[in-house]
């Protein structure tokens, strides 16, 4: 299936959603898109930050352009997150400042603080890989204590179906949400379009959705034409902070 056919299908889906956000139906559906893994590649990082829409950028610590890209995103009014490298079952290398299972509590805390200092303006944190570490209580407790102390939120990237990170965050009083859809495991137009349509279906069901993508050329190209369509369809692009604010207001209002 070619790009034009993908675009046609997606356009049809968005058109079907168009009544949302009209004056009669009140506020429309909301979508949060986090772009992970910024820090290594300045050109692609900047291209992602320059996309036309209220995207959120999660920056890996300790890389050549980590601080610079976080500053740039912030300067353009975009929400910044720390993309914290955490140990995974495949034992893939984590890059600088990763949290591994063989560290002790003091080491987890030290590396986390170092990473938070390296990514200025972070409003929250999500895990980079982490299928192993997010299943473990002790390191997750350290993460949540640190986030709570700094008033930051947590987004579980959900790299393991057995992740306890979201529950640990809630127990620790850290505002938290979970990722619904990974946009671009495969960097093809067909795959990215299908994932996006899955996200739209979730949004239609529950009113909001959180997606994670990466600064791949294919993803940047896809978002460059889909973001204006979203706006036309009345879909509001929001930051995780905005989703969390709404969630907290609803919780307070509940009896």
- 136-61-110 Cα angle (round to 5): 55
Site string for Zn ion, 8-37 (x = CB under 5 A): ----------------------------xx
CB of 5 or CB of 92, closer to Zn ion: 92
Residue closest to Zn ion, measured at CB: 128
Q: Shortest gap between Cβ of 37 and Zn ion (angstroms)?
A: 4
Question: To the nearest whole angstrom, how small is the minimum distance from the Cβ of residue 216 to Zn ion?
Answer: 12
In the complex, the smallest distance separating the C-beta of residue 137 from Zn ion, rounded to whole angstroms, is 22
Question: Which CB atom, from 29 or from 134, has the smaller least distance to Zn ion?
Answer: 134
Q: Which of residues 92-151 bind Zn ion (CB under 5 A)?
A: 128
Question: What are the backbone angles phi and psi of residue 178, rounded to the nearest 5°?
Answer: -120, 145
Length of the chain: 255
CB of 244 to Zn ion, least distance (A): 21
> Based on CB atoms, which residue is closest to Zn ion, 8 or 217?
217
Question: Least distance to Zn ion from the beta carbon of 36, Å?
Answer: 4
Q: Mask: binding to Zn ion, 146-175, rule CB under 5 A, as x and -?
A: ------------------------------
Per-residue binding string, Zn ion, 32-71, x by CB under 5 A, is ----xx----------------------------------
* Other C-beta atoms lying within 10 Å of the C-beta of residue 156: 23
Would you say 37 or 146 has its CB closer to Zn ion?
37
CA 141 – CA 90 distance, rounded (Å)? 23
Give the count of residues interacting with Zn ion (CB under 5 A). Answer: 3
Q: Which is nearer to Zn ion, 36 or 79 (CB)?
A: 36
Q: Which is nearer to Zn ion, 183 or 233 (CB)?
A: 183
CA atoms of 89 and 160, how far apart (whole Å): 9
| Cβ distance to Zn ion smaller for residue 36 or 118 | 36
Q: Using the rule CB under 5 A, is 79 a contact of Zn ion? A: no
CA 230 to chain centre: 18
Look-up of token digits 């929001």:
238
Binding-site ranges for Zn ion (CB under 5 A): 36-37, 128
């Amino acid at each position: 299936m070619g790009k034009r056919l993908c675009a046609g299908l997606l356009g049809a889906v968005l058109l079907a959603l168009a009544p949302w956000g009209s004056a009669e139906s009140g506020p429309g559906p909301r979508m949060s898109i986090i772009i992970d893994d910024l820090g290594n590649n300045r050109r692609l990082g900047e291209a992602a930050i320059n996309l036309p829409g209220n995207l959120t950028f999660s920056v890996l610590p300790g890389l050549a352009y980590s601080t610079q890209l976080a500053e740039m995103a912030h300067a353009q009014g975009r929400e910044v997150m720390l993309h914290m490298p955490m140990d995974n079952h495949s034992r893939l290398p984590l890059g600088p400042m990763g949290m591994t299972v063989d560290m002790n509590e003091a080491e987890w805390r030290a590396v986390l603080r170092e990473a938070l200092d390296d990514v200025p303006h972070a409003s929250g944190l999500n895990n980079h890989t982490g299928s192993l570490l997010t299943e473990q209580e002790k390191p997750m407790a350290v993460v949540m204590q640190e986030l709570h102390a700094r008033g930051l939120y947590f987004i579980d990237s959900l790299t393991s179906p057995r992740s306890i990170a979201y529950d640990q965050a809630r127990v620790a009083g850290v505002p938290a949400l979970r990722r619904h859809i990974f946009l671009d495991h495969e960097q093809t137009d067909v795959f990215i379009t299908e994932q996006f349509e899955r996200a739209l279906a979730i949004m239609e069901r529950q009113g909001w959705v959180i997606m994670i993508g990466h600064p791949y050329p294919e993803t940047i190209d896809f978002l460059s034409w889909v973001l204006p369509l979203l706006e036309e369809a009345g879909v509001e692009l929001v930051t995780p902070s905005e989703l969390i604010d709404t969630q907290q207001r609803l919780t307070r209002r509940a009896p």
